[in-house]
Chain A
Amino acid sequence: MAEPVVEFRDVTVAYRVPDRRIPTLKEWVVRRLTSRIRWHERRALDHVSFRLEGGSALGVIGANGAGKSTLLRVAGGILPPTGGQALVRGRLAPIIELGTGFELELSGRENVFFSGALLGRSRAEMAARFAEIVDFSGLAESIEAPLRTYSTGMVARLAFAVATAVDANILLLDEVLAVGDEAFRRKCQERISSFRDRGVTILFVSHDLDAVRSMCDRAIWLDRGVLRASGDTGEVVARYLEFSASVGACPEPEPAIDGGLPPEPARPVETGPAP
């Protein structure tokens, strides 16, 4: 248990963005010709460090734009950090989000296989798990119908069933409990608990503080890319709530990161056209 399964050491993810978003190529050309584009650096994660021991569950909380999803993507190896190190030891499942690559025109069955392929699983692997997926989603009767005939709840059920049909010892969960009715959410939580019973390590991003409290033994709180607190879930959640209350009922979301061409990763602030 002593060996951390996930370890972040001073992980920083920085972007170079122009001071004002440049939406069109025309505007970019005009601005390159007439004025200097001012760039500045924005940090989605700013020297974040934490350790996660095998078999434990860590909740990641914070306002919109705090860097929670960025953190998962760094852990999942999709986004290389621009500074620091992110170490992951073990078999990592892809980030689990609902409905990755679902196609409305395809049937439920076809979507199971397509989504599986996107998540890097072979056809044989999906075929072996197909019955289990259908059973968990409770969609045996409509699995051959195109997805556009499904209700939102049905899609969510299928998505969760596909996403969690994995053999891995580290799971990255991004807002997977955000949809579905109460009964299905309970079923999802049970499945996640069963992963924990098998010693799977879980990194869980959610806005649902109750879910974080019930599933995670430790939590970290991110605020605009900075780690504000880490430790016992109850304490961290309490501090986060206290902070949110002090700045207003709803913590102000960071404006979305977007910008022009080309965002050099992690360059110090600089102005003027590229050399």
Chain B
Amino acid sequence: MAELRELLAFSHLLANMVRRDLTVRYKRSVIGFFWTMLSPLILMVILTIVFSTIFRFEGIQHYETYFLSEFLVWGFFSQTTVTTMVNLTLHGNLLKRVKVPKAIFAVATTASGLVNLALACLPLLAIMLVVRAPISPAMLFLPVSFIIIAMFTLGVALGLSALAVYFDDVSQMYQVGSIGWMYLTPIIYPESIVPDRYLWLIRLNPLTTLFELSRYPIYRGQLPPAEVLAVSLAVAAATLLAGWLVFHRLARGFYVHL
């Protein structure tokens, strides 16, 4: 709790860090803001073409929307966790020099990621308009979905980044592991094609339910059902708490390792 208050006291620094991330990311590109929209748009178009013409899954209408509705949040999750690890190991020696809350890297990276995620909804909407996918008012629920997903993401980012400070191989293992994790989540394929004996694996994966928070409003045009919401919220809160505790425990040794 005290740490949380401390973090709030540093909201000015947090705002500065987010602003820095966004400036570095967006400002130096030639066509500025449009470019930043263009690159996810191009990626989305490529993936849409690949997966709706080459690898076809039968029985999914508006496959591009099906897939993008979760791929966007996967991008946010994987980018945020990896970047937090890199930031903490690379710039963590800052923590030795200035008195700032140690979790500030993870929080700032997650906040920047959320802004990027919100912006990425614009090219998504553009694609949905072009392919005439239905756009439902349920999408107004997305901010809530994104925040719950961000809680989970922050928890994972905190735990992993603390571990990465101690051990050089954590970030490499995670980069490989996260590819596996993505394919273990029904993002690009429907759950219905998974053989029954592997279904438990998919169900056990917390991202499966969590990402439904994004798929329901975007693809199905409905609010997420209560049980999806409840499970996601519980998983996200538990992960955040666990990540926070791990981080807090390991942070005591940061001074020696950074």
Contacts and interface: CB of A to CB of B under 8 A. Distances in A.
Contact of B20 (A28, A103, A265): A103
Contact of A79 (B16, B163, B173, B255): B255
A118 B167 contact: no
A73 B96 CA distance: 7
B91 interface: yes
Interface in B68-103: 91, 94, 96-100
Given A17-B256, A94-B99, A103 B24 contact: yes
A23 B167 contact: yes
A123 B11 CA distance: 12
A100 B97 contact: yes
B166 interface: yes
Contacts of A118: 13, 16, 94, 98, 100
B197 interface: no
B23 interface: yes
A122 B253 contact: no
A95 interface: yes
Contact of B99 (A23, A76, A123): A76
A78 B100 CA distance: 9
Interface residues of A, number: 39
Interface in B161-181: 163, 166-170, 173
A17 B257 CA distance: 10
Given A110-B20, A261-B253, A78 B98 contact: yes
A257 B170 CA distance: 21
B128 to A, nearest CB: 33
A82 to B, nearest CB: 11
Interface residues of B, number: 30
A13 B197 CA distance: 55
A257 B256 contact: yes
A77 interface: yes
Contacts of B96: 73, 78-79
A119 interface: yes
Contacts of B13: 117-118, 120
B233 interface: no
Contacts of A265: 252
B5 interface: no
A73 B98 CA distance: 9
B169 A24 contact: yes
A260 B253 CA distance: 9
Nearest to A24: B169
B24 A23 contact: no
B94 A101 contact: yes
Contact of B167 (A24, A79, A97, A117): A24
A106 B250 contact: no
A261 B166 contact: yes
A258 interface: yes
A84 interface: no
B209 to A, nearest CB: 28
Interface of A: 15, 17, 22-26, 28, 73, 76-79, 94-95, 97, 100-101, 103, 105-106, 110, 113-114, 117-120, 122-123, 146, 257-263, 265
Top 7 A-B pairs, shortest CB-CB distance: A117-B16, A24-B169, A25-B167, A263-B253, A105-B24, A117-B13, A261-B166
29 contacts: A22-B167, A23-B167, A24-B167, A25-B163, A25-B170, A25-B173, A78-B96, A78-B99, A79-B96, A94-B97, A95-B98, A100-B97, A103-B24, A105-B24, A105-B28, A106-B24, A114-B17, A117-B13, A117-B17, A119-B98, A120-B13, A120-B100, A146-B28, A258-B256, A259-B256, A261-B167, A262-B249, A262-B253, A263-B252
